[in-house]
Every structure is written in structure tokens, then in C-alpha cells.
């Protein structure tokens, strides 16, 4: 099937308007569904076929499910008359996903959402009878097929400028109206997300605001990446953040918390055992904290060497009941078998950090 090309496919990147809400909404949805996402293979896209897409994959890299969100902030309640063009775009995006060349598993299905931070007030009147459905914080998700038929008829008849094709009407079956509990300003949205990070991760992360900012940067790179050839397709890896990337990010944040706790609780004992003088202590701590990032940098060959050595000699953990004694043996064994350009203090700090990271993965 020919690729769908449109001059507006990069309009979100070019305008760069309203992206804060889309990104904040993405993180809100991620945190809301964190438990169910854990362990799944998935990806996230922003401003690509739809404002937000969550794609779920099986072991064969085939799509089992796609969730799309057209995410719009508003200062007043939405009425049916406000929604015709939006709903037409949602149904067209739904069809684009059905037509997309990305391999799909048997039983593949979609859930498509209009998501907003204000009330959606769907109402109509037939003769003397009124019909109404309100989507808000008390009724936050409504599946389109469950609406009263009179409301659906009002929507499906369109207006003077918007009409729904047969495919549009068919794709309304996957539509959901969703209220997102995000306030109006970017600042207050971040404050709410900061609180949700604390609720979800509790004391597993030291700095929840830094974690939020890191996640925002991770997603922000997507909207600054142009769809190649003005073509939007789900297989475009440059427009996707993969679940393994998110897991690595969260693992790093969790490991830094463990590293912080270990240093807080064991720094005196560790420095005494490793003969780190008071003069060198600040340097040791700085190298210790920096090592967790350097282990992820393939250009940091000395840190890669240390990390690989500890990983290949993991059996040393079976010789000890004390973290400090175990770190000390790793240092002795490394110095016996390897050479490094790291100073003595740097090496001790790097091995200490590698020990914490590797132990955290057991």
C-alpha cells in the first residue's frame, strides 16, 4: 500500500505549539498505567499519526494493540459543535493505523481517545426529550458505542463543513472520551506530575522532580524529530521511545537512589576500608556518583572495562556477607588482573559504583 503523505504531517514540529500539554499528558498516562505497562514491550510516539500513540508489541515485534490520544487542553467545556473536526481527525488517524505497514498480530485492536483536561458535555434534544452525557472527573472515561443513540446520531450527522465517511463512522466504534485531571498551566501540570512520580515511585527515587525533567527530555526529542519524507509510519524508530529505553532510564534513577543510600549509610566504613583519606573523600564521592552515568557511555572505555570485569566475576559475591568486604576483594582482584588509566581513588570509586549497580540487577 502506498505511504500516506501529507504536507501537514510535520505541522506539530513546525509550530511547536501546545506540546507541553501533549508531553505532560503522555507522562500522566504512563504513570496512571505504570503497573500494567511494567514488563510489557511497547513504544510511545508524540505528534506522529496522532498527538500521542502507545503501541504494544508481542515477542515477534508485531503490534497487538494501539492506543491513540488526541490531547487538547481547554478553558471551557467541550460541546458537540466543538468536536466535529476533532472526531473526524481521530477516525482518519484510526484508519491510517489500520493501513499502516507495521506488522500486526492476529487479534490486533485499537483504542482511540479524545483526551482533555476540561468537561466534555454531549447533549442533544429530540422533540421534547433531552439526552446528555457529561465526561468529567466523576465520569472520566466513556466509550462511544455506549452513548445514547440520539447523541451518536447528532455527532454522526456532522455539520455544514464536516461529514463522516463510511470508514469514519466505522472507526467511531473504537473512540473513547477521556477526562485527564491536568490543570491549565504548564507549571501546575508539572507540579501535579511531580506528585504522581512520588506516589508511584515513593522512595525508590531520590529526586522526583529531576526524574520528571529527565522523562520530559526523553519525550521532547520526539517532537523535534521530523517525519522522514513527510511520511508518518509506526515503524519509524526515530519517532519512537521504546519500553527498554524507559526501563533503562528508570533503572538508572533507581540505582542512583540505592547509590545515594549506600553512600549515606556506609561512607565512613567504606572510606576506612579502602583507605580514602579525608583529603580525597570529596573526589572519591564525585567519581562514585559520576560513574553511574559513565557506565552507559560507550566512549568511557575505562569505566566499561571495570563494569565488565565485575560482571564477569560476579561469583565473588558468594565469598562475602559484607558489602564493604566484597568491594575490597573486587578492587584487589582487578589490580591483580587488569591495568587502567584511572587513578587509585577513581578506580576504587568506580568499582564501588559498579558493585552497587550490578548487585541491584541480581
Rounded Cα gap, residues 25 and 70, in angstroms = 10
User: What share of the chain in percent tops pLDDT 70?
Assistant: 93
Beta-strand relationship, 78-79 and 104-116: unpaired
Res. 262 pLDDT band, cuts 50 70 90: very high
Rounded Cα gap, residues 347 and 349, in angstroms = 5
Residues 117-128: what's their mean pLDDT? 96
Q: What is the pLDDT of residues 28-60, one digit of tens each?
A: 999 999 999 988 999 999 988 889 999 999 999
- Angle, CA 57 vertex, CA 233 and CA 292 arms, to 5°: 95
From 59, 52, 62, select the one nearest 30 (Cα to Cα). Answer: 52
pLDDT for 13 beyond 50: no
- For residue 316, give every residue at least 6 positions away whose Cβ sits within 8 Å of its Cβ, in sequence order, or none: 326, 329, 330, 333
Residues 203-220: what's their mean pLDDT? 86
Give the per-residue pLDDT at 230.
54
Beta-strand relationship, 78-79 and 120-126: parallel
Give the per-residue pLDDT at 86.
96
DSSP 8-state symbol, 319: G
Q: What is the pLDDT of residues 134-145, one digit of tens each?
A: 999 999 999 999
DSSP 8-state symbol, 233: -
Q: What is the pLDDT of residues 56-107, one digit of tens each?
A: 999 999 999 999 999 999 999 999 999 999 999 999 999 999 999 999 999 9
Beta-strand relationship, 50-57 and 63-72: antiparallel
Rounded Cα gap, residues 176 and 204, in angstroms = 34
Q: Give the predicted TM-score (pTM) of the model.
A: 0.77
Give the per-residue pLDDT at 73.
92
Amino acid at each position: 500500500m502506498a505511504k500516506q503523505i501529507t504536507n501537514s504531517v510535520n505541522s506539530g514540529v513546525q509550530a511547536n505549539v501546545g506540546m507541553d500539554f501533549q508531553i505532560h499528558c503522555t507522562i500522566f498516562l504512563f504513570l496512571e498505567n505504570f503497573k500494567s505497562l511494567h514488563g510489557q514491550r511497547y513504544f510511545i510516539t508524540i505528534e506522529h499519526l496522532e498527538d500521542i500513540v502507545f503501541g504494544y508489541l508481542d515477542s515477534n515485534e508485531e503490534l497487538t494493540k494501539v492506543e491513540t490520544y488526541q490531547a487538547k487542553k481547554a478553558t471551557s467545556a467541550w460541546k458537540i459543535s466543538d468536536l466535529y473536526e476533532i472526531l473526524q481527525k481521530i477516525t482518519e488517524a484510526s484508519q491510517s493505523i489500520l493501513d499502516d505497514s507495521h506488522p500486526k498480530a492476529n487479534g490486533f485492536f485499537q483504542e482511540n481517545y479524545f483526551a482533555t483536561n476540561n468537561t466534555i458535555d454531549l447533549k442533544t434534544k429530540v422533540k421534547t426529550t433531552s439526552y446528555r452525557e457529561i465526561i468529567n472527573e466523576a465520569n472520566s472515561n466513556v466509550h462511544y458505542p455506549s452513548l445514547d443513540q440520539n447523541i451518536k446520531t447528532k455527532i454522526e450527522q456532522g455539520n455544514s463543513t464536516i461529514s463522516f465517511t463510511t470508514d469514519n463512522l466505522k472507526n467511531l466504534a473504537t473512540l473513547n472520551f477521556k477526562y485527564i485531571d491536568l490543570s491549565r498551566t504548564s507549571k501546575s501540570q508539572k507540579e501535579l506530575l511531580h506528585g504522581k512520580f512520588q506516589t508511584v515511585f515513593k522512595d525508590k527515587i531520590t529526586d522526583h522532580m529531576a526524574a520528571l525533567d529527565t522523562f520530559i527530555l526523553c519525550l521532547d526529542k520526539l517532537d523535534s524529530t521530523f517525519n522522514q519524507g513527510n511520511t508518518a509510519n509506526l515503524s519509524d524508530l526515530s519517532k519512537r521511545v521504546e519500553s527498554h529505553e524507559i526501563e533503562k532510564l528508570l533503572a538508572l534513577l533507581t540505582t542512583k537512589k540505592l547509590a545515594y543510600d549506600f553512600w549515606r549509610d556506609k561512607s565512613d566504613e567504606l572510606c576506612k576500608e579502602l583507605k580514602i583519606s579525608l583529603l580525597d573523600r570529596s573526589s572519591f564521592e564525585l567519581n562514585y556518583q559520576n560513574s553511574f552515568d559513565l557506565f552507559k557511555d560507550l566512549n568511557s572505555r575505562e569505566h566499561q572495562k571495570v563494569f565488565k570485569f565485575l560482571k564477569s566475576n560476579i561469583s565473588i559475591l558468594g565469598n562475602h556477607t559484607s558489602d564493604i568486604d566484597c568491594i575490597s576483594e573486587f578492587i584487589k582482584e582487578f589490580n591483580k588482573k587488569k591495568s587502567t588509566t584511572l587513578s587509585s581513588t577513581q578506580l576504587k570509586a568506580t568499582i564501588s559504583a559498579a558493585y552497587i549497580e550490578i548487585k541491584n540487577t541480581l
